[in-house]
């Protein structure tokens, strides 16, 4: 097949591209320019998409012996990822920009362009696997190395996208093996650190970035019945589940620590309370999708596992497609309450190793209801 290999400048994508060539594919390497003003040099493991990264990708492509291009997706990245990130935080939700990037950039904009140019598929360095069921339908599954598994951030992929996705690293036992292979191939990125932060906030200061991008307005800190406990300098500085830095002047009656329970942008208030109020017994979302074929009868509750963060452990749950205010909604009920869940996060549904689908969480039900309303 004629395929595009997305080359970030990291070790995983370089090895994935090389393996695609050895598998017999006609490969063209592409680096995505996601910023009109990229930094020159990475800082440790922070950020990506710098000029240095594009040069690293080009050097790897030269060693592999494949054509290499830089495609400018900076405007679409700004609109679909960066602006979405700001809007979600401004609405009091906690978004996952990596999910949006995979959904709207790598496996929408990039794959669409590749297909329009006559390519057959897209190769990436993600640790996940694509298989087919007995009827030939594509399924997304966890990687062999669960410690490195990245199927969570791919939960947004559709059946059509899975049909064109190639993940050469999915069966690799460990990242160490990938680095050893990169060194053997002569890639300079063999020991390059992984990127662990939001790529457009390379210094890791999300609060500072949001303050500059959206602004900060002082407001009230209240408890779950609406009683004012103190003031904050900007609600965007807080996240659900946060314990430190709340700085309220009135101690809790029982002397226990308070946690951030909710952020209410309409009233510019931060709601705090006991840890047990962070226990979520149900979550629902109308923005959902199936990764491949949906269940035969999703309106009938079925057992599954749900994962709410990229590096979180999956937990047993029950899932059902219900109707809320006349609209379809995916409802997930974990067997045991999940602590510190926020709207805007992505819940990915698994059945065994298979990624069944995902939803953006619109609402949650707490074991200890919070009375104050936005």
User: Which residues have a catalytic role annotated?
Assistant: 101, 199
141, β-bridge pairs: 129, 354
Residue with tokens 């291009």: 69
Q: Would you give the DSSP letter of residue 46?
A: B
What span, in angstroms and rounded, lies between the C-alpha atoms of 149 and 374? 38
CB atoms within 10 A of CB 149: 22
Is 331:322 a contact under the CB 8 Å cutoff? yes
Please give the structure tokens belonging to residue 215: 């602004």
Q: Inter-axis angle of helices 175-185 and 11-22, to 10 degrees?
A: 70
Q: Quick check: helix, strand or coil at residue 301?
A: coil
CA 152 distance to own-chain centroid: 7
Burial of 159 (0-12, 13-18, 19+ CB in 10 A): middle
Please give the structure tokens belonging to residue 314: 């999956």
Taking the alpha carbons at both ends of the chain, their separation in whole angstroms is 53
Return the closest-CA partner of residue 273 out of 168, 359, 373, 370. Answer: 370
């Amino acid at each position: 097949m004629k395929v595009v290999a997305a080359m970030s400048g990291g070790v995983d994508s370089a090895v994935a591209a090389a393996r695609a060539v050895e598998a017999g594919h006609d490969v063209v390497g592409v680096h995505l320019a996601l910023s009109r003003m990229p930094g020159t040099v990475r800082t440790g493991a922070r950020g990506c998409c710098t000029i240095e990264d594009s040069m690293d990708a080009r050097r790897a492509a030269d060693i592999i012996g494949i054509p290499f291009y830089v495609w400018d997706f900076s405007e679409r990245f700004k609109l679909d990822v960066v602006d979405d990130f700001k809007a979600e935080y401004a609405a009091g939700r906690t978004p996952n920009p990596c999910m949006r990037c995979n959904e709207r950039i790598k496996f929408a904009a990039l794959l669409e362009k590749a297909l329009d140019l006559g390519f057959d598929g897209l190769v990436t360095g993600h640790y996940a696997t694509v298989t087919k069921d007995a009827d030939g339908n594509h399924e997304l599954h966890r990687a062999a190395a669960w410690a490195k598994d990245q199927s969570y951030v791919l939960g947004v992929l559709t059946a059509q996208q899975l049909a064109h996705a190639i993940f050469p690293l999915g069966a690799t036992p460990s990242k160490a093996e990938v680095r050893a292979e990169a060194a053997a191939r002569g890639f300079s990125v063999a020991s390059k650190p992984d990127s662990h932060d939001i790529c457009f906030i390379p210094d890791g200061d999300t609060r500072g970035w949001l303050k500059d991008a959206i602004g900060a307005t002082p407001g009230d800190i209240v408890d779950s019945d609406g009683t004012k406990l103190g003031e904050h300098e900007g609600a965007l500085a807080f996240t659900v589940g946060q314990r430190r830095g709340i700085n309220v002047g009135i101690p809790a009656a029982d002397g226990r620590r308070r946690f951030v329970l909710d952020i209410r942008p309409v009233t510019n208030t931060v709601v705090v309370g006991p840890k047990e109020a962070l226990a979520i017994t149900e979550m629902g979302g109308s923005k959902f999708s199936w990764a491949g074929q949906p269940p035969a009868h999703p309106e009938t509750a079925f057992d599954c596992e749900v994962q709410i963060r990229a590096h979180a452990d999956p937990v047993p749950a029950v899932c059902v497609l219900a109707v809320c205010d006349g609209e379809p909604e995916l409802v997930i009920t974990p067997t045991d309450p999940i602590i510190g869940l926020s709207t805007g996060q992505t819940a990915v549904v698994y059945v065994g190793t298979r990624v069944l689908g995902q939803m953006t969480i619109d609402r949650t039900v707490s074991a200890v209801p919070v009375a104050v309303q936005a």
